[in-house]
Amino acid sequence: MADIMKFIMDDKLIDTDPEGYLLKLDDWSEDVARAIAKEDNIELTDDHWEVIHFLRKHYSDFGISPNARLLVKTFSKEFGEQKGNKKKLYQLFPNGPSRTGCRIAGLPLPNDCVDWPA
């Protein structure tokens, strides 16, 4: 069995896998997102939140976390090329918009997650 990591948020014990992905989707909150982002030295802006909420809606609608290719395609379709292009998403999430974005959004790592080089 893989090691389970834990942290405390507002007196609640939050379990994650060794890579920092939440084990229970219901443990997610915006405060938890901020704490996870802080570990990656990311201060969440409105642009980050737009992506995070998009990821959560996508997961809610389709039951999967989008990989980087799908994220770029669907986010740019909904919010326009200027916001949804690969370069912009990597500026927001330098370690990978899908991998890091999903972790901050409290979602599982996409099964076929391959983030492109920035």
In contact, 97 and 83? CB cutoff 8 Å: no
Q: Dmax over Cα atoms in the chain, in whole Å?
A: 43
In contact, 115 and 99? CB cutoff 8 Å: yes
Annotated catalytic residue: which of 40, 113, 115, 118? 113
Radius of gyration, CA atoms only, the chain: 14
113 is annotated as an active-site residue: yes
Q: Which residues are catalytic?
A: 113
